[in-house]
């Protein structure tokens, strides 16, 4: 690109837009790299919003951008490699971000595209609890269209990157795209490893020239007074910088804002779509879903959960001396200590609750299940690995994880009950669905895990002996001495306090806890259902080899299915023998019948029945051979009583059909093929269609005569 330093931003932007149409992808990325390296921040400032949108797509999803969700190395190796290099934490795009960050530019992000609870809160002028939104809300000038967030370049870039998981859908129609192999999935993993490192206590420095430090975001005065709800968690950055004599003394205190900002953006964009109030309202079946996560979305969240476990588990052991801890702990180390309980736990819990209650009852729920099980097992992502055993026996869960289990009690107990409710409504005959039950059973069967969950429930159920107003306890630091708890040891009182804070903080003060090892949860899968699951092959049929009715109870309206009966029907173990009870001539047209012939033959039969009804009545009433022959072919004129086999209807129906002709059997493809075969074989013997028809009629008359003589009693003729 000739003379880049002489170009104005508007002309540069027009040139780059033209290149998007006329140049191949690889050449465009090469030109962008040159522009980013050679032009100053003042000129790059004008193209930054367009460049971000051209990569990640527009917020409304109309502009697809690079479609990172569908970009894979197996199908597009060149574009895949170039895109990852360009968007790498040390690549050209991030260098552009840091170059603009140094100049403290701001970019508007519409509040209308934020997750539902955040958008509603800001529009009501209530400041969200997350510090990510503090001092950023800007009201529009006269004639503006809406509220905006004033974001720095790093925030603006990460907002677009995170929200593209939701706005950009999988548009590949030619082949199946594996989400875990897409460029987007790889980039999420790369950003997490870079900005939330599991090794070391300092983030890698920004890819700039030596001495080009990137300042942390400076506080800005709010544009409008907001009412705050909840307890604000002060940014770790602000807290540590206030106590640092020099920013250069500890690089982590300068750069931890990138870690905190990245995590907050990912959690807000991917998980904060349901507030606690919205979640409670959505328990009603009449409330429509406001947001439906996709399988790709859940897989990316699982990647985040796994990395956060590894990140928090990489925390260095606390020193024995408290004074040593105060001097040696870095800001990044303290961030690891609070990353899950402060930033993730509540939003992930509500997100999982929604998925358990609203996800379709099919095998795609496996993604949600694995994400849940990943969160429940932080020991799988600890740096120390359990010793390998030749017997392949499950290893006992260490007691050091008891605190995590107690402070995440609802993640284990309430979501387990939610899974049981799903399992009882799932077709467990399907191997994929049965495997999900096996996965959960295998995780919860780990030695010592059930005991620690039970201990957490016991701590929660212990009576409160101190502060009567529980709502004031939840946001206090649990540092009470044993004197406050007369009969409790200090450690037990502190553990009980933490469990109660967790439960009431997630579910509210009026929450009625259901014990995982109590009778209410046990009754979700009662003894009859367990017996049914163990003996499904034996109970599927009775002595005569016919299906039994599902388990029901009698009511005024008829039979009502029990939970066991629903399980039997879903898994195909039993069924109702529902039969057609109406006029046989008016049955729905079957797949083995010709629709045109059915309608024509019905009209012909109706005409004949209307014209010869009296004559057929007289013939069928005779007691001689002619009467018996007619009764064999025509419907017997007596009252037919049948029971409508339905689980809900108890009324018996009666029908009274007189003698009539039915020609519908001639519309059956089987009958037509059989007749064509007879005519075809007859042609080999030089028998014409008329002669063949006469032979067929004579043969059928002889068959009907024999059947009439040997019939012990009259039976309605069925074709």
Q: Which tens digits make up the pLDDT trace of 80-98?
A: 999 999 999 999 999 999 9
Task: Decide if pLDDT at 19 tops 60.
Answer: yes
Reported as type and span, the H/E element at residue 227 is: strand 227-228
- The whole-number pLDDT of residue 390 equals 44
Q: pLDDT grade, residue 321 (50/70/90)?
A: low
Tell me: the pLDDT tens digits for 243-301?
333 334 455 566 688 999 999 999 999 999 987 666 555 555 455 667 889 999 999 99
Q: Which residue has the higher pLDDT, 173 or 688?
A: 688
Average pLDDT over residues 386-412: 80
Reported as type and span, the H/E element at residue 110 is: strand 107-110
Q: Which residue has the higher pLDDT, 610 or 306?
A: 306
Q: How distant, in Å, are the alpha carbons of 177, 296, 421, 675 from that of 292? A: 20, 12, 20, 56
- The whole-number pLDDT of residue 129 equals 85
How is residue 377 written in tokens? Answer: 């097992």
Q: pLDDT grade, residue 65 (50/70/90)?
A: very high
- The whole-number pLDDT of residue 686 equals 87
- The whole-number pLDDT of residue 716 equals 45
Task: Decide if pLDDT at 459 tops 80.
Answer: yes
Dihedral, CA of residue 486, residue 490, residue 491 and residue 495, to nearest 10: 70
- The whole-number pLDDT of residue 434 equals 87
Average pLDDT over residues 441-469: 83
- The whole-number pLDDT of residue 414 equals 93
Q: What are phi and psi of 543, to 5 degrees?
A: -65, -35
Q: pLDDT grade, residue 323 (50/70/90)?
A: low
- The whole-number pLDDT of residue 229 equals 39
Task: Decide if pLDDT at 464 tops 70.
Answer: no
555-577: string of b/e by CB count within 10 Å (b at 16+)? eeeebebbbbbebbbbbebbebe
Q: How distant, in Å, are the alpha carbons of 616, 634, 658, 664 from that of 607? A: 13, 15, 15, 14
Burial class (CB in 10 A: 0-12, 13-18, 19+), 714: middle
Q: How distant, in Å, are the alpha carbons of 383, 409, 646 from that of 468? A: 42, 23, 55
Q: pLDDT grade, residue 476 (50/70/90)?
A: very low
- The whole-number pLDDT of residue 110 equals 93
Q: pLDDT grade, residue 482 (50/70/90)?
A: very low
- The whole-number pLDDT of residue 210 equals 44
Task: Decide if pLDDT at 499 tops 50.
Answer: yes
- The whole-number pLDDT of residue 86 equals 97
Tell me: the pLDDT tens digits for 130-144?
889 988 988 776 555
How is residue 250 annotated by DSSP? Answer: -
Q: pLDDT grade, residue 638 (50/70/90)?
A: very low
Tell me: the pLDDT tens digits for 333-366?
889 999 999 999 999 999 999 999 899 988 999 9
- The whole-number pLDDT of residue 336 equals 92
Q: Which of 415-424, 472-481, 497-506 has the lowest mean pLDDT?
A: 472-481
How is residue 241 written in tokens? Answer: 């910088």
Average pLDDT over residues 30-57: 94
- The whole-number pLDDT of residue 477 equals 36
Helix axis angle, 689-710 to 669-684, nearest 10°: 120
Q: pLDDT grade, residue 559 (50/70/90)?
A: confident
C-alpha 675, offset from chain centre: 55
Average pLDDT over residues 154-159: 97
β-strand partners of 655: 640
Average pLDDT over residues 213-224: 52
Tell me: the pLDDT tens digits for 613-635?
888 888 888 888 888 788 777 75
- The whole-number pLDDT of residue 402 equals 94
Task: Decide if pLDDT at 388 tops 90.
Answer: no
Average pLDDT over residues 438-463: 92
Q: pLDDT grade, residue 539 (50/70/90)?
A: very low
How is residue 312 written in tokens? Answer: 């928090």
- The whole-number pLDDT of residue 444 equals 94
Task: Decide if pLDDT at 451 tops 70.
Answer: yes
d(CA 284, CA 196): 39
d(CA 344, CA 397): 23
- The whole-number pLDDT of residue 483 equals 35
- pLDDT over 90, % of the chain: 36
Task: Decide if pLDDT at 146 tops 60.
Answer: yes
- The whole-number pLDDT of residue 239 equals 41
Q: Which residue has the higher pLDDT, 240 or 392?
A: 392
Terminal Cα distance for the chain, rounded: 84
Mean pLDDT of the residues in the chain: 78
């Amino acid at each position: 690109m000739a003379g880049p330093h002489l170009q104005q931003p508007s002309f540069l932007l027009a040139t780059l837009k033209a290149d998007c149409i006329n140049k191949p992808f690889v050449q465009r990325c090469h030109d962008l790299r040159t522009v980013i390296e050679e032009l100053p921040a003042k000129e790059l400032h004008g193209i930054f919003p367009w460049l971000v949108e051209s990569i990640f797509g527009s917020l409304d999803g109309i502009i697809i951008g690079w479609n990172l969700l569908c970009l894979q190395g197996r199908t597009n190796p060149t574009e895949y490699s170039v895109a990852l290099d360009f968007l790498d934490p040390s690549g050209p795009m991030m260098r552009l971000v840091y170059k603009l960050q140094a100049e403290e530019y701001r970019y508007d992000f519409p509040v209308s595209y934020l997750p539902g609870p955040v958008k509603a809160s800001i529009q009501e002028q209530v400041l969200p609890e997350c510090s990510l939104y503090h001092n950023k809300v800007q009201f529009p000038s006269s004639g503006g269209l809406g509220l905006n967030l004033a974001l720095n370049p790093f925030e603006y870039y990460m907002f677009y990157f995170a929200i593209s998981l939701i706005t950009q859908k999988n548009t590949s129609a030619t082949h199946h795209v594996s989400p875990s192999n897409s460029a987007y999935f790889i980039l999420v993993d790369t950003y997490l490893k870079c900005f939330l490192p599991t090794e070391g206590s300092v983030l890698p420095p920004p890819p700039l020239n030596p001495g080009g430090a990137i300042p942390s975001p400076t506080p800005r005065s709010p544009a409008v007074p907001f009412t705050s709800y909840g307890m604000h968690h002060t940014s770790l950055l602000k807290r540590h910088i206030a106590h640092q004599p020099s920013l250069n003394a500890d690089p982590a205190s300068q750069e931890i804002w990138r870690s905190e900002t990245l995590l907050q953006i990912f959690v807000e964009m991917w998980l904060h779509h349901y507030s606690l109030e919205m979640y409670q309202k959505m328990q009603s079946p009449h409330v429509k879903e406001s947001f439906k996560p996709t399988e790709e979305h859940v897989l990316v969240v699982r990647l985040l959960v796994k990395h956060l476990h590894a990140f928090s588990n990489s925390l260095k052991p606390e020193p024995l001396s408290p004074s040593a801890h105060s001097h040696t702990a870095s800001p990044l180390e303290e961030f690891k200590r609070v990353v899950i309980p402060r930033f993730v736990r509540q939003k992930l819990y509500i997100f999982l609750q929604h998925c358990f209650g609203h996800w379709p009852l099919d095998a795609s729920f496996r993604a949600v299940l694995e994400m849940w099980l990943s969160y429940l097992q932080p020991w799988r992502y600890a740096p120390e690995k359990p010793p390998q055993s030749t017997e392949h026996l499950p290893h006992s869960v260490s007691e050091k994880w008891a605190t995590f289990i107690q402070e995440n009690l609802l993640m284990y107990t309430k979501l387990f009950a939610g899974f049981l409710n799903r399992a009882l409504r799932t077709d467990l005959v399907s191997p994929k669905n049965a495997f999900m039950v096996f996965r959960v059973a295998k995780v919860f069967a780990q030695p010592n895990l059930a005991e620690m969950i039970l201990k957490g429930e016991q701590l929660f159920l212990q009576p409160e002996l101190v502060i009567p107003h529980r709502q004031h306890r939840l946001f206090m630091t649990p540092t009470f001495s044993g004197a406050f708890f007369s009969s409790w040891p200090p450690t037990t009182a502190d553990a009980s306090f933490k469990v109660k804070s967790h439960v009431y903080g997630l579910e509210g003060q009026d929450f009625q806890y259901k014990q995982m090892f109590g009778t209410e949860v046990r009754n979700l899968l009662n003894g009859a259902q367990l017996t049914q699951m163990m003996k499904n092959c034996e109970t599927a049929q009775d002595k005569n080899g016919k299906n039994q009715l599902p388990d029901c109870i009698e009511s005024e309206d008829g039979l009502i299915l029990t939970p066991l009966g629903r399980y039997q029907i879903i898994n195909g173990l039993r069924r109702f023998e529902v039969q057609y009870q109406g006029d046989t001539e008016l049955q729905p047209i079957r797949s083995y019948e010709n629709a045109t012939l059915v309608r024509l033959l019905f009209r012909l039969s109706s005409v004949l029945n209307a014209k010869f009804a009296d004559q057929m009545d007289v013939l069928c009433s005779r007691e001689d051979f002619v009467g018996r022959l007619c009764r064999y072919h025509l419907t017997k004129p007596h009252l037919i009583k049948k029971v409508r086999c339905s689980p809900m209807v108890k009324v018996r129906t009666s029908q009274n059909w007189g003698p009539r002709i039915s020609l519908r059997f001639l519309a059956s493809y089987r009958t037509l093929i059989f007749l064509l075969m007879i005519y075809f074989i007859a042609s080999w013997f030089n028998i014409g269609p008329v002669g063949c028809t006469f032979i067929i009629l004579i043969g059928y008359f002889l068959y009907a005569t024999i059947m009439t003589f040997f019939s012990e009693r009259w039976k309605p003729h069925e074709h």
